Structure 1
Amino acid sequence: MVVLNKIYTRTGDKGTTALGNGDRVAKHDARVNAYGTSDELNAFVGVARLSAEGAMDDRLALIQNDLFDLGADLCRPDIASDAEAEYPPLRMVEAQVKRLEAEIDEMNSALSPLRSFVLPGGSALAAQLHVCRTVARRAERLATELSGHAEVNPVVITYLNRLSDWFFVASRVANNNGKDDVLWVPGANR
């Protein structure tokens, strides 16, 4: 259980922060960058939810919760020692990825195939979902960079990869099921 009764602790005043296992690292550590970017993504999802309704809002709420799970996973190194931990660390699981895939397939079934790349825009929600898509890609890049020198749950990377696809398809749904997509016209302004 999380209890936050004091918001500032002064423990980070010298540029370090605690990971989920208690280790202290620099606030610019690759692991902190990775889970910090997933937190940034979560904030952008919150902004997108201001324009979402119904099933789209419900799905975005699930994603926000998943992103907290993902941050908890990333902030806890030493996956190999999970079994010995006093409290089992929260890890992303394949079912979270499968849910995204099912939602992508369901949303995509109502869309016409694309004949050009889509420019971010159209409706306010679509534009916000494109911002989420690009931040998800950055979070994925940072997680894969971290995995090059530290242990990372592979489901984290798969989830972020699938999530950016989810945001792309959802942006098309938000654009009147793709009818209001703004398409790229190569070389249009030459």
Structure 2
Amino acid sequence: PIPILLALGLNSFKHKKYRKVIQTVTYAPNFISVVVMCGMLLLFLSPDAGILNKILSFFGIAPINFMGDKSYWRHIYVWSGIWQSMGWNSVIYFAALSAVSPDLHEAAIMDGANKFQLIRHIDLPSIMPTAIILLIMSCGSILSVGFEKVFLLQNDLNKSVSEIISTYTYQVGLVENNVSYSAAIGLFNSAVNAVMLIAVNKIARKSSGISLY
């Protein structure tokens, strides 16, 4: 939902100059490579020289080994991913909002609608078909969360929560040289993704009339 909220917020922001600045700032992280971004995270969250721990120490809080504490790992992975992709993922929603007729907004304003009501009753329904299609496509790769970022942020201290299917396949297939077992894992992964895609597509078609096929 973060890219949708960002697109709705930018669309209702009337100062075009500042809106372009916000768009540029939110789009820029998408062009940072995974390796560079993981290096930045490791540097910023370092218990010795990390800027975050420097701030904590300024307030008298002991340094925290964020990458070694498994309770922080999921939050680091998820929120850094949102930060990196939310701007770029909001582009398609912003494009859909640009197709909304201004006459609808003008008529609603004449009837006394505020900004929240404009978003709820005009903007949000207009991008709902796009959101549903992207949701269906995302569910088709729900088990494929990527390899590079997890592998680069993974260590022995957080491995109990950071191990995913792709890193486990790498461990079994390349490190342990059990190619047949890793192939079976990959096949099972693809099968579950296909089932999820078909199921969510069917649910979306029955509930909203919108589907991929």
State the TM-score bracket (shorter-chain normalisation).
under 0.3
TM (norm. structure 1) is 0.25
TM (norm. structure 2) is 0.23
More strand by share: 1
Which is higher, the Rg of structure 1 or of structure 2? Answer: 2
More helix by share: 2
Q: Which has the higher contact order (CA 8 A, sep 6+)?
A: 1
